[in-house]
Structure 1
């Protein structure tokens, strides 16, 4: 029980304001809140189970920088995807084939690879030798912290214009993509910051141009 309570507390504290909590907020503005929560749950169970079972061995097999670069690219992809809108040709097929749960689960699984929450799970499992309690505690902690993000995101989606939500959500994804790239490749913070701002600005311009073309057709 001590392992469970410690794991629960540590993860809730660690996740407050973390990128995955903000990602849950961004996803909740695009997908159904329940679908996002299920995706977060699946990703957390798989990721933390992996941390408990293989622990530090994973870092010896797959360089964490490779995982972080892949995560960075996925964040940028989700940012651009958010700006596409809901009526583009082919999107219905993508959603039918993959669905929001799969999309969220993959994004969260990659975001948690090498993150402090996963590393904390490894440390807790090594300390308490109670993998089941640690897994339950860390998973519940993630659901509590990210659940708050989902509630906030769902609230905003009902009270803020769709265009603003798309721009903010896309900016969050793109920004975290560049932050993750910074962590993986060691570029200067200034360089990454400038690149992120330019990418966000370009995304906003693309969205505005797309919206204007849509108005012209009508």
Structure 2
């Protein structure tokens, strides 16, 4: 087990996902259904998405190293740019409504319907998302698919757990644009490290 790859993946995905639509979507779902059922549903969606990303990342490693690293750099930089753009947008809108849509009263859980609804919403939202692309890139960059899988899945489950438990309180303490900028910094750092490896 490559612990460095595991912890790096966890940190990167955690920071990228915290300000992402995943957090908000999970929080909204938790206002409609029992939080535990929402977490189970989104956890299943994340497991499928992460498996696909790590598998594709492993397949990509058969390509020439320069191509893989070049694509990883491009994805990291694109991710940083997207997060900076979102951060600027959220900073401009920081004084707007404090999330009235989260004020809905939670309804009793609908059992497996709640799990299925949560799975479908997050599966659709995450397909081709930055975290999935970042997981693919990290899987291609490191020869440690199990470590990358565990790190990415743990980060996604942690973020969704935070969303269902303390989402609204967290967003009151840490502005969402700060989380976007932190995620952009992580992507930029990963791009820089990959450039250094490519030059060597």
Length-normalised TM-score, structure 2: 0.54
For 2:179, the equivalent position in structure 1 comes to: 172
Structure 1 48/175 Cα, relative in aligned 2: closer, same or farther at 3 Å? same
Structure 1 or 2, whichever has the larger Rg, is: 1
What is the aligned partner in structure 2 of residue 148 from structure 1?
A: 158
Closer, same or farther: CA 10–113 of 1 in aligned 2, 3 Å: same
Match of 2:77 among 46, 49, 69: 69
- 1:104 pairs with 2:121: no
Preserved CA contact (<8 Å) 1:26 1:153: no
- Contact between 2:15 and 2:182, CA under 8 Å: does it hold in 1? no
Distance in 1 of aligned mates of 2:154 and 2:52: 17
Distance 2:134 2:50 in 1: 10
Contact in 2 for aligned 1:11/1:142 (Cα 8 Å)? no
CA contact (8 A) 2:13 2:152 kept: no
Greater RCO, 1 or 2 (C-alpha within 8 Å, sep 6+): 2
Q: CA deviation at 1:108?
A: 0.7
How far apart, in 1, do the equivalents of 2:44 and 2:90 lie? 20
Q: d(CA) in 1 for partners of 2:75 and 2:6?
A: 24
Q: How many positions carry a matched residue from both structures?
A: 154
Residue 55 of structure 1 and its aligned partner are, at CA, apart by 1.0
Aligned CA RMSD, in angstroms, stands at: 4.0
Aligned to 1:79: 87
List gaps (5 residues or longer) in structure 2: 27-37, 101-120, 194-200
2:14 counterpart residue number:
21
* Contact persistence 1:29–1:156 (CA under 8 A): no
Structure 1 regions of 5+ residues with no counterpart? 1-5, 88-98, 125-133, 187-218
Does the residue aligned with 1:57 lie in a helix, a strand or coil? coil
